[in-house]
């Protein structure tokens, strides 16, 4: 049951796709904002039929097509609340969807949460291993985002980038230990329009070849218009963090200024070390160590 009726144009668009289609993402929840796209999972039959993900406009609404191959069991977290828009006799999507029971979803989410926390520890190790203050600040912020995603997953919530701060606000206080230090590492107190504007220029360059670049920019604009500065700052930073974590080490030193602007970094070594120790303790506690 959708929180809001699905626009007729989106239904018609989905019906014209030759493969089974399901609505996923925040549009199946009560958290979606006007700027949020409609995520359509397109279940292609074979790897040969697979296509690159893309964003299209349908009746002036952004729609992200996300092509999925393989077993639905491999995508349980993303598909848990899917709303089937088109099925066929070959895939029997409606039958496969019944296999995504809540217990399986919870187990997969918990496993994902632990993996994210371990990723956070790995990023903290990278922070301690670099001699470049700005690169150290970058790894600490990335570690903080991984920690927050991990805590959300362990608390039974699938992290949703635009809504990450709202999800943090709603988390059970018993699970919230360490989130304050993670937000300090991210630097939420620095969430101002000038800081976001500087970051945006750098992130647009980082995402210059990404298919969802315009969608990202429209979301930032929407959050700014609604004066949701902290949410906007966290969202933009998370997008930058996800982009940078996959780069090669040499990129960070060659483009340190771009990295600094994208993540709005400060290089106060003593402060960074103090925050990292707090995040390290919180991460280990969350892992039961």
**Of 97, 114, 149, the domain-final residue:** 97
The dihedral sign for the CA sequence 199, 166, 168, 149: negative
**Of 62, 97, 132, the domain-final residue:** 97
* Phi–psi pair at 84, nearest 5 degrees: -70, 125
Nearby residues of 215 by Cβ (< 8 Å), 6 or more positions away: 37, 55, 62, 64
Find the domain containing 63 and state its range.
8-97
pTM for this prediction: 0.93
Please indicate, yes or no, if residue 169 is contained in any of the structural domains. yes
In which element (H, E) is residue 14 found?
Answer: helix 8-15
Number of separate domains in the chain:
2
Straight-line distance from the first to the last Cα atom of the chain, in angstroms, rounded to the nearest whole number: 40
Please tell me whether residues 143 and 175 are part of one structural domain. yes
Check pLDDT > 70 for residue 252. Answer: yes
**Residue 70's pLDDT is what?**
77
Beta-strand relationship, 83-86 and 38-43? unpaired
Contacts by 46-50, CB closer than 8 A, 24 or more apart: 49/19
Condensed to tens digits (0 to 9), the pLDDT of residues 10-56 reads 999 999 998 899 999 999 988 999 999 999 999 887 666 667 899 99
Closest CA to 165 of 179, 177, 185, 150: 179
Please tell me whether residues 256 and 186 are part of one structural domain. yes
Condensed to tens digits (0 to 9), the pLDDT of residues 177-235 reads 799 999 999 999 999 999 999 999 999 999 999 999 999 999 999 999 999 999 999 99
Neighbours of 60 (CB within 10 A): 7
Closest CA to 35 of 238, 231, 243, 241: 231
């Amino acid at each position: 049951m959708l929180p809001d009726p699905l626009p007729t144009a989106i239904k018609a668009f989905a019906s014209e796709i030759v493969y089974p289609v399901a609505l996923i993402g925040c549009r199946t929840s009560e958290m979606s904002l006007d700027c949020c796209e409609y995520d359509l999972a397109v279940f292609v039959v074979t790897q040969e039929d697979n296509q690159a993900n893309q964003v299209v406009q349908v009746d002036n609404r952004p729609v992200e097509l996300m092509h999925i191959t393989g077993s639905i069991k491999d995508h349980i977290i993303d598909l848990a609340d899917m709303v089937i828009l088109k099925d066929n006799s070959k895939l029997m999507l409606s039958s496969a969807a019944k296999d995504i029971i809540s217990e399986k979803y919870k187990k997969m989410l918990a496993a994902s949460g632990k993996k994210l926390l371990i990723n956070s520890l790995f990023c903290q190790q990278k922070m301690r291993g670099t001699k470049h203050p700005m690169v150290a600040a970058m790894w600490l912020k990335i570690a903080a985002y991984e920690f927050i995603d991990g805590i959300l997953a362990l608390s039974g919530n699938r992290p949703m980038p635009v809504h990450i701060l709202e999800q943090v606000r709603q988390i059970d206080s018993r699970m919230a230990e360490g989130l304050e230090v993670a937000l300090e590492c991210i630097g939420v107190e620095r969430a101002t329009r000038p800081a976001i504007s500087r970051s945006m220029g750098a992130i647009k360059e980082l995402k210059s070849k990404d298919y969802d670049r315009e969608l990202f920019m429209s979301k930032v604009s929407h959050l700014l218009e609604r004066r949701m500065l902290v949410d906007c700052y966290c969202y933009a930073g998370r997008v930058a963090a996800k982009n940078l974590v996959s780069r090669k080490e040499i990129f960070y030193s060659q483009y340190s200024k771009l990295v600094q602007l994208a993540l709005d970094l400060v290089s106060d070594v003593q402060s960074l070390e103090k925050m990292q120790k707090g995040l390290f303790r919180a991460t280990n506690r969350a892992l039961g160590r």
